[in-house]
């Protein structure tokens, strides 16, 4: 179990480091990376042309690049929340609500600090919408982890209930 605990914390720290590195990128570089992904999606490079992932008319009103950027925010924080919950679960003997509360709080503080960090990065700005997207992603990750934990890690007790 110690190995799992340490592995989970390494994953959490790795995800936080990835977020920090992406937030440290200047605006132009960050935008060019997401733009390449957007172009690849819209050109059918990663999706067959006859079955596009995104309809052309969808991208007319709202930039596909914006969708890619916001999806990246949501996704990386979903993973952060998921692994934060399990890192706490395997490290401490507390009730589930404590892991949820601590994980939510840590992810929220990290999301806010990430946006503050971007205020000091050339070509970037902090954005409250991104904090909400990050918070939503981490919350869903945490509750998904809680659901998996309840399904697979709870052992029946002698009275037929769950621990």
pLDDT band, very low/low/confident/very high, at 157 (cuts 50, 70, 90): very low
Region 24-53 average pLDDT: 64
Query: Is-contact 12 80, C-beta < 8 A?
Result: yes
Distance separating alpha carbons of residues 42 and 31, to the nearest angstrom: 16
pLDDT band, very low/low/confident/very high, at 49 (cuts 50, 70, 90): low
Q: Per residue in 122-156, pLDDT tens?
A: 877 788 888 999 999 999 999 999 999 988 877 54
Across all residues in the chain, what is the average pLDDT? 82
pLDDT band, very low/low/confident/very high, at 53 (cuts 50, 70, 90): low
Ranges of each domain in the chain: 2-152
Query: Is-contact 90 8, C-beta < 8 A?
Result: yes
Q: For 26-35, 76-85, 91-100, which range has the lowest pLDDT when averaged over its residues?
A: 26-35
Q: pTM for the whole thing?
A: 0.79
- The larger pLDDT score, comparing residue 27 to residue 32, is at 32
**pLDDT of the residue at 88:** 96
DSSP string, 55-117: -HHHHHHS-HHHHHHHHHHHHHHHHHHHHHHHHHHHH----HHHHHHHHHHHHHHHHHHHHHH
């Amino acid at each position: 179990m110690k190995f799992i605990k340490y592995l989970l914390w390494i994953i959490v720290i790795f995800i936080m480091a990835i977020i920090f590195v992406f937030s440290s990128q200047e605006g132009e570089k960050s935008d060019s990376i997401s733009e390449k992904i957007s172009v690849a999606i819209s050109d059918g490079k990663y999706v067959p042309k006859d079955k596009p992932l995104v309809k052309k008319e969808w991208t007319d009103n709202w930039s596909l690049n914006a969708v890619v950027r916001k999806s990246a925010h949501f996704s990386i924080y979903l993973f952060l929340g998921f692994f934060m919950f399990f890192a706490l679960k395997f490290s401490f003997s507390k009730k589930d609500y404590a892991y949820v509360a601590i994980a939510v709080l840590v992810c929220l503080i990290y999301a806010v600090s990430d946006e503050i960090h971007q205020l000091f990065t050339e070509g970037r700005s902090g954005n409250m919408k991104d904090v909400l997207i990050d918070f939503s992603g981490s919350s869903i990750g945490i509750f998904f982890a809680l659901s998996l934990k309840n399904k697979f890690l709870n052992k029946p007790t002698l009275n037929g209930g769950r621990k």
